[in-house]
Amino acid sequence: MKKRLFMYLFIFTLLLVIFQFVNSKNIIENYDQKLTTYIEKNKQLKDSITSIEDNLTTDLYTFRFDTNDDAMTYWENEGYRISEFVPFLKDQLMSLNIYETEDHPLVPYASMTGKKMLIEQIRILNHKWIIASFTDGTYWGEMLLAYDIENKENLKFKVVESILYQP
């Protein structure tokens, strides 16, 4: 009887070990499959991020004076140093924010809040155009400016087009 009991215990233990082995194998294969799927998806997402970063970098350098060799060459041929020209241009445009009259010298819209219209941001597109944003704190807008230099120091700005947004 003892022999049969040990034989049954041995068979039961063997079946339990086989069951545990098969169950563990299935769990490991499932985890391996999930890990492979996650690795593939992660690689795909990293490729997408790289592609988006490349497009973003390209977009950031589009329509910028400092990446436009033709525009910089134009002013260098006129006798200006680009390292001094860009700050000079921005300073001249921002200095127009200091005015005593009721209307801004360049902004084609009058303030509707009693505050002064001020130019906030400037992006120099090339050797002829600038995009500028303006606001009075409540109303804001954008304008496209043409610029030219007369007599090596006298900057002339002309509003080509502008828009005022609703608050």
Global pTM value? 0.63
pLDDT in tens, 10-51: 898 999 999 999 999 999 999 999 999 999 999 999 999 988
Would you state the structure tokens that stand for residue 52, as one six-digit string?
Answer: 């988006």
CB contact set of 140 (below 8 Å; sequence gap of 6+): 120, 133, 134, 164, 165
pLDDT at 8: 86
- pLDDT over 90 at 60, yes or no: no
pLDDT at 94: 92
Q: Name the percent of the chain lying above pLDDT 70.
A: 97
For residue 97, give the DSSP letter.
T
For residue 67, give the DSSP letter.
G
Would you state the structure tokens that stand for residue 53, as one six-digit string?
Answer: 């970063």
pLDDT at 156: 92
**Residue ranges per structural domain of the chain:** 1-60, 65-165
For 83, the 3-state DSSP assignment is helix
